[in-house]
């Protein structure tokens, strides 16, 4: 599996300790499952060789978040998956930016967990 353990640890530290979190190696990276739902993941973009996040934000905020720094459509199959975004390093290198993306993923996860 191709992912950066340092980035995975940075994400791990930001996930709440009071709700169930599981880690699964899938899609060539590491996915953090929160409340048994895919929430956020880390992998390496094969085309660039750079780390990236996969963030599940839902369809409603997707259109606004698509234009944030480092954000782009998630397109594993060549077709964009609405509700999911890839975030390049320029969008998560700073702690405050990574905090933002983890929070967006958790906000959506908590909505669908109800």
At 50, which CATH number? Answer: 3.90.1150.30
Q: What is the pLDDT of residues 51-82, one digit of tens each?
A: 999 999 999 889 999 999 999 999 877 888 89
Of 67, 68, 60, the C-alpha closest to 96 is: 68
Q: Which residues of the chain are modeled with pLDDT < 50?
A: none
- 82 domain-assigned: yes
- 114 domain-assigned: no
Answer for the pair 112, 80: CB distance below 8 angstroms, yes or no: no
Q: How many domains does the chain have?
A: 1
Residue 19 is predicted with a pLDDT of: 87
Domain span at 100: 5-108
- 16 domain-assigned: yes
């Amino acid at each position: 599996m191709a992912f950066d353990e340092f980035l995975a640890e940075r994400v791990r530290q930001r996930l709440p300790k009071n709700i169930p979190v599981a880690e699964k190696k899938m899609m060539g990276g590491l996915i953090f499952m929160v409340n048994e739902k895919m929430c956020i993941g880390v992998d390496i973009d094969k085309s660039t060789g750079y780390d990236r996040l996969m963030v599940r934000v839902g369809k409603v905020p997707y259109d606004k978040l698509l234009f944030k720094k480092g954000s782009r459509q998630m397109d594993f199959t060549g077709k964009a998956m609405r509700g999911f975004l890839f975030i390049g390093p320029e969008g998560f290198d700073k702690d405050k930016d990574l905090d933002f993306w983890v929070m967006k993923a958790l906000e959506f996860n908590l909505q669908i967990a109800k």
